[in-house]
Chain A
Amino acid sequence: DTEVTQTPKHLVMGMTNKKSLKCEQHMGHRAMYWYKQKAKKPPELMFVYSYEKLSINESVPSRFSPECPNSSLLNLHLHALQPEDSALYLCASSQGGSNTIYFGEGSWLTVV
């Protein structure tokens, strides 16, 4: 079982709603990631936090806002999303000095 925990597993939201996805890891990893995955496609990198600082933002629209409250937690705040934003959102983590990235089970997001 993955040690990266994501909540909620499923989320349905309207285009005017504000919601958040949450991620937690207790492996002591210092890098955390958000990926977006559409059906039958590979994961696409959205954000990277390294030592709780945002180090990579892959030109993601501002309606997605990441937050890293501490080294174990990662949030993705969602506001004014579009139906095309419906996807599986994956959180991942890796240890400094290691290449291995571990994924959570993902949060299925549907925007109506």
Chain B
Amino acid sequence: QQQVKQSPQSLIVQKGGISIINCAYENTAFDYFPWYQQFPGKGPALLIAIRPDVSEKKEGRFTISFNKSAKQFSLHIMDSQPGDSATYFCAARLPLSYNNNDMRFGAGTRLTVKP
């Protein structure tokens, strides 16, 4: 029941480069799109999130770009650092008014930033 498709599966970037991870969704009822960062042996941590009425959100080196008509959103990591090496999950959530408003995750992208 994959409702969020994420690519690439893995990504290798040089230090200082830009990391780009893409996600596409099917259900137009989704109204909240977070990105989670997960380090080995740790739980997922919320990185940044966006709602569909906004086309871009930036927090530090992390930017979400959102294209509502294409049903796509992406994470850009500027000036990538070795400490950014982790697995990144995009997700989508239905409105709270829905009975089943759980989070649907993408398959994940393993990012490696080489020094």
* 8 Å CB interface, A74-112 against B: 88, 90, 96-97, 99-106, 108
A48-66 to B contact mask, C-beta < 8 Å, 1/0: 1000000110000000000
A17-49 to B contact mask, C-beta < 8 Å, 1/0: 000000000000000010000001111010010
Is B99 in contact with chain A by the CB < 8 A criterion? Answer: yes
Q: Which single member of A33, A42, A48, A100 contacts B89 (CB below 8 Å)?
A: A42
Interface residues on chain B, number (Cβ under 8 Å): 25
Count class of interface residues, chain A: 20 to 34
Q: Knowing A97-B96, A100-B34 are in contact, say whether A48-B43 is a contact too (CB < 8 A).
A: no
Which B residues lie within 8 Å of A43 (CB)? Answer: 44, 89, 103, 105
Q: Knowing A48-B102, A99-B32, A103-B44 are in contact, say whether A42-B49 is a contact too (CB < 8 A).
A: no
Chain A residue nearest to B32 (CB atoms) is A99
